[in-house]
Structure 1
Amino acid sequence: MPDEAENRKRAMRAELRERRRIRTATERERATEALTRHLVQLASDLDVGFIAAYLSTPDEPETRGFLRWADERGIRILLPVSREDGLLDWAPYDGADEEQDMLGMPTPSSELLGPIAINGVDLILVPAAGVARDGMRLGWGRGYFDKTLGSMEGCPPVYAVIYDDELVDEVPVERHDMPVDGVVTPSGILTFAKR
């Protein structure tokens, strides 16, 4: 039986999904340019050489421009591939063909490296439906990133990539939910105070 937090999450996700769906092409283009600039700034400020990121879906803030920039500079990039057991496999970004995983998420067509390949990255970029000002992330409900982040030893900085209006005062939280260290939005980079 769903509890109150789960019901509130479901309602909030539906609202945020609808906001994304109705964004105009012009709004998306402006957001993409600004987000790419801020992602480049974050990667440069942190002097990353190895990152875990993701290929955005059509409704998500676009990540491909940043991934191309990172690849051109020789930054190693891993992208997630969903597995049936609820874990994420990781595959190198190669800028080539894209496929879809079992959930219909865009993935690279490169070789799968397994769940522990993410260990040793300098930065993790994650998708989110929304993020609260205290750093708690509202994902899309499957728990893949929460499991990954919760299992990592020595987790590097984790930033969610969201639109400005998806940074909210609070999100419903359950025991398994993992916070992020900051967000990257079209308006800039926000790093949360350490807990």
Structure 2
Amino acid sequence: MNPSDKNDIRREAIARRQALDDGSQRSEAIQHRLLTEFPIREGSNWLVYVSVRNEVKTMGILEEVLRVKGQVVVPYCLSNNELGLFLLTDLQQLEHGSFGIKEPLAALRSERSVPSETLDTVVMPGVAFDRRGNRIGYGKGYFDRLLKTLSGDCIKVGLAYDCQIYPKIPSEAHDLPVDHLITETQMIRCSAKV
């Protein structure tokens, strides 16, 4: 696989996303579709990314998981290009951190760390996806490393606008796809996992 293929798709998908003038309305439709397709169950353990810039917005999802469960796991960037996982119980526990992304308060991180194997639903971003669940991120590999540590029955859901879905994303044997994609118009089942 030619690495420039991924870079070309990444650049084009980011440009497509930036060109949307109604991203907030599209995000609302995506959030509603996610919560309809995947109702929050008692005892479930959700990780939801905290959106930044023109990614699909997730504040409504975070608020709903907090309302139903009283807690939600959010990722944050560690210095070794891995994600730390934090048990959030209040949106006031977020502050601006790496890459302008809201992250958990540094003072609380060590006491609220969550092991990745305990997650059963992971809601993640991506720059581009295909219908088989292959994804391209920003190129740092944060979520790629996290995916390798999840339990086998964890449901992985990618959020994207329709304009971010490509016919084929270059992938390699070690790449792990998402199980489902939610866009403003559809839910795509990439695997048999429900």
The TM-score with structure 1 as length reference comes to 0.86
Correspondences of 1:1-195 after superposition (within 5 Å): 4=2, 6-24=3-21, 27-44=22-39, 49-74=44-69, 76-93=71-88, 94-109=90-105, 111-113=108-110, 117-194=115-192
Shift of 1:71: 0.7
Contact 2:84 2:113 in 1 (8 A): yes
Contact 1:51 1:75 in 2 (8 A): no
Shift of 1:9: 0.7
**Counterpart code for 2:91:** G
Q: Distance in 1 between matches of 2:104 and 2:19?
A: 27
**Counterpart code for 2:66:** D
Alignment size in residue pairs: 190
Give me the CA root mean square deviation: 2.3
Contact 1:159 1:180 in 2 (8 A): yes
Contact 1:129 1:138 in 2 (8 A): yes
Where 2:38 maps in the other structure, the secondary structure is helix
Q: Given the superposition, is the C-alpha separation of residues 99 and 66 from structure 1 closer, same or farther in structure 2, using an over 3 Å criterion?
A: same
Q: Distance in 1 between matches of 2:43 and 2:9?
A: 33
Offset from partner CA, 1:78-106 (integer Å, 9 cap, x none): 11111111211111232115323333322
The farther-off stretch of 114-123 and 147-156 is 114-123
**Counterpart code for 1:112:** R
**Counterpart code for 1:17:** I
Structure 2 residue ranges without an equivalent (≥5): none
Where 2:17 maps in the other structure, the secondary structure is helix
Shift of 1:158: 0.1
Offset from partner CA, 1:83-135 (integer Å, 9 cap, x none): 11121111123211532333332213272258752321220011101111111
Q: Given the superposition, is the C-alpha separation of residues 45 and 83 from structure 1 closer, same or farther in structure 2, using an over 3 Å criterion?
A: closer
The TM-score with structure 2 as length reference comes to 0.87
Where 2:154 maps in the other structure, the secondary structure is coil
Q: Given the superposition, is the C-alpha separation of residues 48 and 189 from structure 1 closer, same or farther in structure 2, using an over 3 Å criterion?
A: farther
